[in-house]
Amino acid sequence: MGNLIIQLTRSIAVLPILAMGLTSPFVSAGIFQPSLDGSMNIAQVQTVAEKNVLSERAEMIDAYFKERSMPLYGFGEKMVKEADLHKIDWRLLPAIAVRESSGGKQSCGYNPFGWASCDVAFKSYNESIEVLATNLGGDNPNTAKYYSGGTELKLHHYNGTVIASYTGEVLAIMDSIGPKY
């Protein structure tokens, strides 16, 4: 009986994907490979769903930047991947970049986040995204005590102690980029 319930659950979970047909882009891209009987396991379905969410988030960031002619257009995927890796809100990095440099328009070199009062030079936007995500995620032992809390506390320590309205401004930008999901 238990195995029947598990098989039934798996079947229901994969129906939307199987409805696309086994020649779907997911199969050809190697995202999942169905077994010989055409079924998929739950982990494969979750992987497809996670990739779709990451892609949607990156598209929302890039659309926001593109609509405003911001130089960080095209870096949405990198920001989403780093945010996911360091377990921070996917909208935090782009929102800080918008607040600090208008999405790179007034960037000090490759530092669109104003990190360390722009006293730190980066070789690329990718590097600055990685460094900021590492720090805001609390994964740098030197700064973890400031960035180990929730988003509002991170923003308070980032620049909210200097500019009282900073946290609210960045949170509003986050909301304009997209929903929290």
pLDDT for 158-171, tens place per residue?
999 999 999 999 99
For residue 3, the model assigns a pLDDT of 41
Mean pLDDT computed over 43-68:
87
* Residue 27 structural domain: 1-35
Q: Do 29 and 48 reside in the same domain of the chain?
A: no
Q: Do 29 and 46 reside in the same domain of the chain?
A: no
Mean pLDDT computed over 91-108:
97
Q: Do 49 and 65 reside in the same domain of the chain?
A: yes
Q: Do 31 and 111 reside in the same domain of the chain?
A: no
Highest average pLDDT, of 7-16, 39-48, 123-132, comes from 123-132
Q: Do 52 and 82 reside in the same domain of the chain?
A: yes
Considering only residues 41 and 155, tell me which one the structure prediction assigns the higher pLDDT. Answer: 155
pLDDT exceeds cutoff 60 at 6: no
Q: Do 62 and 121 reside in the same domain of the chain?
A: yes
Q: Beta-carbon neighbour count of residue 73 at 10 Å?
A: 17
Q: Do 159 and 90 reside in the same domain of the chain?
A: yes
Give the pTM.
0.75
Considering only residues 157 and 181, tell me which one the structure prediction assigns the higher pLDDT. Answer: 157
End-to-end CA distance of the chain: 36
Least reliable range by pLDDT among 32-46, 58-72, 103-117, 150-164: 32-46
CATH at 46: 1.10.530.10
Q: Do 55 and 70 reside in the same domain of the chain?
A: yes
Averaged pLDDT of the chain: 83
Q: Do 46 and 73 reside in the same domain of the chain?
A: yes
Total structural domains within the chain: 2
For residue 15, the model assigns a pLDDT of 40
pLDDT for 75-91, tens place per residue?
999 999 999 999 999 99
- Smallest CA-to-CA distance from 150 within 82, 79, 88 is with 88
Please count the residues of the chain: 181
Least reliable range by pLDDT among 9-23, 100-114, 162-176: 9-23
Mean pLDDT computed over 52-75:
97
CB-CB contact of 115 with 108 (8 Å) = no
d(CA 54, CA 33): 20
For residue 53, the model assigns a pLDDT of 92
3-state SS of the chain is CHHHHHHHHHHHHHHHHHCCCCCCHHHHCCCCCCCCCCCCCHHHHHHHHHHHHHHHHHHHHHHHHHHCCCCCCCCHHHHHHHHHHCCCCCCHHHHHHHHHHCCCCCCECCECCCHHHHCCCCCCHHHHHHHHHHHHCCCCCCCHHHHCCCHHHHHHHHHHCCCCCHHHHHHHHHHHHCCCC
Q: Do 29 and 45 reside in the same domain of the chain?
A: no
Token output for 104 = 């790179």
Q: Do 119 and 85 reside in the same domain of the chain?
A: yes
Q: Do 70 and 140 reside in the same domain of the chain?
A: yes
